[in-house]
Amino acid sequence: MQDARSLLEHLLMSAIEPIDNVDRGTLTGFDAIIDVRSPHEFAEDHIPGAINLPVLSNDERVEVGTVYKQQSTFGARRIGAGYVSQNIAKHLEYFFADQAPSSRFLIYCWRGGLRSQSMATVLSKVGWRIGLLQGGYKTWRRQVVQSLRQNAEPFNVILLDGQTGTAKTEILNRFVAAGGQAVNLEEIAAHRGSVFGAHTQIQQPSQKYFESILWHELSKRDQLSPILVEAESNRIGRCEIPKRLWQSMRSAPVISIEADQTLRSAYLVKAYSDIVSNSDAISAAINRLKPFHSKTQIEAWHELSRAQSNEYLAASLMREHYDPSYNRSRKARETLPINVVTLAGYDHESLENAASQIISTIESRNRQ
């Protein structure tokens, strides 16, 4: 009788729980989220925080798919089962070797099919508590699209605006450190938002993964309180700001940062040190401005770059390109600034003071 009871308890503990939503409360209930798709699929997009434990490698997935199309379903499943068994065995030997018996894992693949079911079955038979995401990755993607593109309700955002070189990102980070809530769009996009904004050592995420991270971050914020975001164009490098957020930003209240152009030039040289030290990157960025300026102006910027007159180059770029562009966008904006913060410098005290002024402005607005 005792053995029968123990077996029943084991079977109940090893049951696979179907999970049909991907809201934040559900996802945080698992010790790990495991994406069993191929590395290529995972790299394009995945649930933020998920671990990639593929049951088919990139090449194995191609091979199985080819057999399925050109030969037979049975043959593809036989070959696939062999690869899946080998790969799950490796994951048991390495990743799962030190996982606690009480751990709870959420498993997903592309559509909640054979790959995730295979992994879930094995792990549940071992005794771990398993959630199987119904609809797989596609369930997550549908929520992201619905939340960022189809939902018409505006986000409660406030824009942090200012001309190029006004340290908006640094101020945003200090604002968060002081207790404010914000979303750093440039950090999510891995880009600083201008033709010179690409990082030399960091690749931008795909559009889908940009949206996944963005929704993941937004969903963690208190939607009833304002969320500070830096003013951007509708594209940050190659990443497009989704419709719902972009429309919210266009009509959002604005806090503007101002600073002397000389101070901005010196700051930009330091902030973009990775570009400044890479002559090829500077040259490529200048060339991307060709559609907007004369050959004479483009060559003048190249000449300043070759002479390593970086502060003069930064000042000229702001005077001839960035400041006029900013002024045009400011005239087209639907709202006027609710406060203008003037930077006396870029030292610690000045940046902290700017962040404090922003917090005071938002708190005062909330009390109204």
CA distance 229 to 271: 19
DSSP state of 319: I
Nearest-angstrom CA–CA distance, 52 and 209: 14
Mean local confidence (pLDDT), 218-223 = 94
Quick check: 332 pLDDT over 90? no
> Do 102 and 176 lie in a common domain?
no
Residue 161 sits in which domain range?
A: 153-367
Residue with the bigger pLDDT between 289 and 193: it is 289
Note whether 168 and 307 are same-domain residues: yes
The per-residue pLDDT for range 146-187, each reduced to its tens digit, is: 999 999 999 999 999 999 999 999 999 999 999 999 999 999
- Distance in angstroms (rounded) separating the CA atoms of residues 94 and 87: 11
Domain boundary among 118, 143, 168: 143
Last residue of a domain, one of 87, 120, 143: 143
Residues 111 and 163 in one domain: no
Q: What is the mean pLDDT of residues 308-319?
A: 90
Between the alpha carbon of residue 146 and those of residues 143, 212, 246, the distances in Å are 5, 12, 15
- Binning pLDDT at 50, 70 and 90, where does residue 271 land? confident
CATH of the domain at 128: 3.40.250.10
Of 143, 175, 192, the residue at which a domain comes to its end is 143
Helical spans, DSSP H, in the chain: 2-13, 24-27, 39-44, 58-70, 73-93, 114-126, 137-145, 168-177, 185-189, 207-219, 243-250, 261-271, 273-276, 279-287, 295-306, 310-317, 323-332, 348-367
Q: Would 181 be classed as within a structural domain?
A: yes
Q: Over the stretch 336-354, which tens digit does the pLDDT of each residue have? A: 789 999 999 999 999 999 9
Could you tell me if 159 and 281 lie in one domain? Answer: yes
In a domain, 363, yes or no: yes
User: Same structural domain for residues 179 and 113?
Assistant: no
Q: Are 127 and 198 in a shared domain?
A: no
Q: Indicate if the pLDDT at residue 19 is higher than 90.
A: yes
Residues 129 and 219 grouped into a single domain: no
Calculate what percentage of the chain has a pLDDT beyond 90.
74
pLDDT at 188: 97
Average pLDDT of the residues in 78-84? 94
Catalytic-labelled residue, pool 109, 122, 213, 355: 109
The pLDDT of residue 4:
53
pTM higher than 0.85 for the full model? yes
The pLDDT confidence band at residue 326, using thresholds 50, 70 and 90, is confident
Q: Is the pLDDT of residue 10 over 60?
A: no
Same domain, residue pair 215 and 283 = yes
Counting the structural domains of the chain, the total is 2
Residue 106 lies in a domain: yes
Q: Is residue 360 part of a domain?
A: yes
> Are residues 66 and 170 both part of a single domain?
no
In a domain, 170, yes or no: yes
Task: Return left, alpha or beta for 90; rule: phi > 0 is left, psi -120 to 50 is alpha, else beta.
Answer: alpha
Residue (of 281, 72, 261, 66) closest to 166 by Cα position: 261
249 part of a folded domain = yes
Vertex 310: Cα angle to 309 and 316 (nearest 5): 95
162 and 80 in a single domain? The answer is: no
Does residue 135 share a domain with residue 162? no
Residue 148 lies in a domain: no
Q: What is the pLDDT of residue 11?
A: 45
239 counts as catalytic = no
Evaluate whether residue 175 is within a structural domain.
yes
At 176, which CATH number? 3.40.50
Residues 180, 129 share a domain: no
pLDDT the model gives residue 5: 53
